[in-house]
Amino acid sequence: MDETAARTAPSLRLAGVGVVAFSSIAWWPAFTLGAWGTVFFPQLLSLWAVATAAFVLVIVSGTVRRRLGWWSLALLTPTLWLVLAIELAPGSRPEMAWLGTLVTLVGAPAMAAILIRFAAPDLAEDATWRDRWAVITAVGVVVVAAYGIGTAQEHIFTCGDFTISGNSQPPGCTPGEPSLGISRR
């Protein structure tokens, strides 16, 4: 392997891991925002749990992070949202819903980026800006597409598809039995 290929291989591995991790985290909140017009509270609380655990890891493990930088402090963003949500009566402040949505849509991919930096710091340091932008672009395409699919859900899924998956029926869903149940036909 020549020198350029040797330098690029870790960056490409990171790009692959990043695209898979970020896309798998970000698609569902984007879809629910499109289909239901909201991000569900389990998504916010999952983000909070992961962020809190990662922050505790940073604090107790000096080998993971030598100093408490802004990346580490960013892990407290979901906790800030949660504290504000606790202080305010549920549903009393519509801007809290927007803040929660923003925390989820921006925080989830940022969380994955932070965790990749902790789990594979050598790969993160070797990543080229070109590969980083490739990851951001790929994940952006997935998020926009998932949101679009959510807004067009009545053309793709039936109300039964949502019900059988354990979800509530979004507004405007197409009435009918599950359309994806191939073993039932």
Phi, psi torsion values for 93, nearest 5 degrees: -130, 100
For residue 178, the number of C-alpha atoms closer than 13 Å in the C-beta half-sphere is: 13
pLDDT in tens, 37-91: 988 888 888 888 888 888 888 788 765 555 556 667 778 888 887 887 777 766 6
What is the value of pTM for the model shown? 0.74
At 160, is the secondary structure helix, strand, or coil? helix
- Expressed in percent and rounded to 5, the helix, strand and coil fractions of the chain are 75, 0, 25
Helix H or strand E encompassing 9: helix 3-36
Q: Which residue has the higher pLDDT, 68 or 140?
A: 140
